[in-house]
Amino acid sequence: MTGERRATSDLWWKNAIIYCLDIETFFDTDADGCGDILGLTERIDYLAGLGVTCIWLMPCFPSPQRDDGYDITDYYNIDPKLGTLGDFVEMLRTAQDRGIRVLVDLVVNHTSNQHPWFQSARKGRDALYHDYYVWEDHKPEEDLSDLIFPGEENTSWDWDAQARQWYLHRFYAEQPDLNTANSAVRDEIAKIGAFWLALGLAGYRLDAVPYLLEETNRPGSDGKDPHALLRELRAFLVRRRGDAVLLGEVNLPPEQTRQYFGNGNDELTMIFNFRINQYIYLSLARQDAGPLAHALATQPAIPVECQWTNFVRNHDELTLDKLTPGERREVFAAFGPDERMQIYDRGIRRRLPSMLDSNQDRIRLTYALMFSLPGTPTLFYGEEIGMTENLDIPGRYSVRTPMQWSPEPHAGFSTAPDGARLCRPLADDHSANVAEQRREPDSLLNWMERLIRMRKECPEFGWGAFEQISSEGPVFAHRCDWNGNTVIAVHNLSDRSASQVLPRSDAWAKLVDLFGDEDCAPGDEIELKPYGYRWLRAQLQVIEG
């Protein structure tokens, strides 16, 4: 059965609405200043009302918090400050009842250095878990340009005095890399995945996938194709839950990224489209559709059961590493001109409203554009109300401030006493909040809910064949065709009015305006206000007799 004939619900990820959140910063129910699982459970109805169909949770496992929970000490439990396993299972049941699937970060390229495996591994070469990690007797040569956190770490190898060897850490020194060339480590990864699926998860966001495979190429590996790890993991998880997904973080050039989908749906199910994300910002900076159009035109075809995942912002910095140095400077100048707004010489640590000077028309244009691109849209918590950041918080944490629910103290995130210390400071401007925007008919929240509803009613964007209509000047226009239906999206990226001629077809009676009442005829030339956008559905001619 081909993808076009298949019901849209068969491959649920093709038309999902994903919402990323950190339990710790979402909603606090016990007034300790830290969000908790009960708080998330209480707010699931809010997410269901917004139209979210899949929640992606950042790590919620026990952790010393050197890297915001990505340094894990126990893969089979919940961080006590967030709740219990019982709380977690109840949250999953509530989400399932509201038609929402849940993914969790699977962070298995490294552990915390406090993990029992590493503490055992340090005892010597014959220790039970020594080969779970990557060790060298002499520090290897390294290319410092490959450092993931330049300025924070100056090497990827650290000396362990107890083991009397060097260990690899591609991230922080407190996060020793697991040796995924070791079949015992791969078995552990599969067991971890199976455990949480049994509790009700729908799959995982797989962290830093290229680094996960890196060790299979090292001396002493079992000689397997590095991608065999992904194929084995995918096959194992699908045996446990047939509709389980692996959503991968892969930020590589197009053809290399394509390899991580495998042959059909046998490796990653979805991959974040970092390259398209970066070219969106270059097109916004230039007010020119050309860069985005070129990036989409040179994007490799992917298996029908797989999917790109699109986003405007995520929980890390806005990385611009796939742009040329000159292009990166353009985006910095437009959206992060102050060095304080930049990080690692490659990214911006601001949220979208700040970058766009709170211009509501431009903010909405950007989300309308992202939601219409071929793939599955993902939101980072607070985007629906236009949350900003706090640049006083170091590094990439600047955008991970507490969710803003109301104008009450602590932005309604917590009922902790005034002056109490929260798990993280609020955004500098925390005036945007859910309670007030719910009451404003034209608020960003109500607009976002409508955008999500419309996107769910346009499966063509998730399933259809993509074709660009306009790829030069300020207007980016495209169409998606699926199962005999067509949706056209037109976006003006500039601060001046623009026009666009719509496609012709004798089969179409008219083009129905999905956000307004200005229907069009095929072949019409439409006018777009500055930062204007139109979504149009082709209505077929009725043939009598």
Structural domain boundaries enclosing 483: 466-540
| Token representation of residue 90 | 């109840």
Closest C-alpha among 434, 379, 428 to residue 403: 434
Which conformational region is residue 338 in: left (phi greater than 0), alpha (psi within -120 to 50 degrees), or beta?
beta
pLDDT tens across 168-187, in order?
999 999 999 999 999 999 99
The CATH number of whichever domain residue 510 belongs to comes to 2.60.40.1180
The answer as to whether 502 is a domain residue is yes
pLDDT over threshold 50, residue 5:
no
What is the pLDDT averaged over residues 454-459?
Answer: 97
What is the pLDDT averaged over residues 88-112?
Answer: 98
pLDDT over threshold 50, residue 378:
yes
- Going across the sheet that includes 165-168, the strands are 135-136, 165-168, 157-160
The answer as to whether 241 is a domain residue is no
The answer as to whether 479 is a domain residue is yes
pLDDT over threshold 70, residue 397:
yes
pLDDT over threshold 60, residue 19:
yes
Angle at 473 between CA 300 and CA 257, to 5 degrees: 15
Q: Which of 168, 190, 211 is the last residue before a domain boundary?
A: 168
The CATH number of whichever domain residue 164 belongs to comes to 3.90.400.10
The answer as to whether 261 is a domain residue is no
Closest C-alpha among 485, 424, 423 to residue 459: 485
The answer as to whether 178 is a domain residue is no
The answer as to whether 58 is a domain residue is no
pLDDT tens across 34-62, in order?
999 999 999 999 999 999 999 999 999 99
Q: How many CB atoms lie within 10 A of CB 120?
A: 14
What own/partner pairs with CB < 8 Å and gap ≥ 24 does 78-85 have?
78/37, 81/24, 81/32, 81/34, 81/36, 82/23, 82/24, 82/34, 82/35, 82/36, 82/37, 83/36, 83/37, 83/38, 84/37, 85/199
What is the pLDDT averaged over residues 254-274?
Answer: 94
Q: Which of 134, 168, 202 is the last residue before a domain boundary?
A: 168
Identify the helix (H) or strand (E) that includes residue 272: strand 270-272
Identify the helix (H) or strand (E) that includes residue 168: strand 165-168
Domain count, the chain: 2
pLDDT tens across 319-360, in order?
999 999 999 999 999 999 999 999 999 999 999 999 999 999
Mean of all residue pLDDT scores within the chain: 95
Question: How far is Cα 34 from Cα 96, in angstroms, rounded to an integer?
Answer: 25
Q: How buried is 162 (Cβ within 10 angstroms: 0-12 exposed, 13-18 middle, 19+ buried)?
A: exposed
Q: Which of 124, 147, 168 is the last residue before a domain boundary?
A: 168
pLDDT tens across 116-162, in order?
999 999 999 999 999 999 999 999 999 888 889 998 999 999 999 99
317 close to 349: Cβ distance less than 8 angstroms? yes
pLDDT classification of 194: cutoffs 50, 70, 90 = very high
Question: How far is Cα 404 from Cα 338, in angstroms, rounded to an integer?
Answer: 26
What positions carry a catalytic annotation?
207, 249
Question: How far is Cα 174 from Cα 459, in angstroms, rounded to an integer?
Answer: 44
The answer as to whether 290 is a domain residue is no
The answer as to whether 268 is a domain residue is no
pLDDT classification of 89: cutoffs 50, 70, 90 = very high
Length of the chain measured in residues:
545
Strands (E), 87-152: 101-106, 135-136
pLDDT tens across 467-487, in order?
999 878 999 999 999 999 999
Question: How far is Cα 299 from Cα 154, in angstroms, rounded to an integer?
Answer: 34
Residues paired with residue 343 on neighbouring β-strands, in sequence order: 347
* Model confidence, pTM: 0.96
Closest C-alpha among 154, 251, 243 to residue 203: 243
What is the pLDDT averaged over residues 239-257?
Answer: 96
Look at strands 54-57 and 101-106 and give their pairing: parallel
Q: What is the pLDDT of residue 534?
A: 98
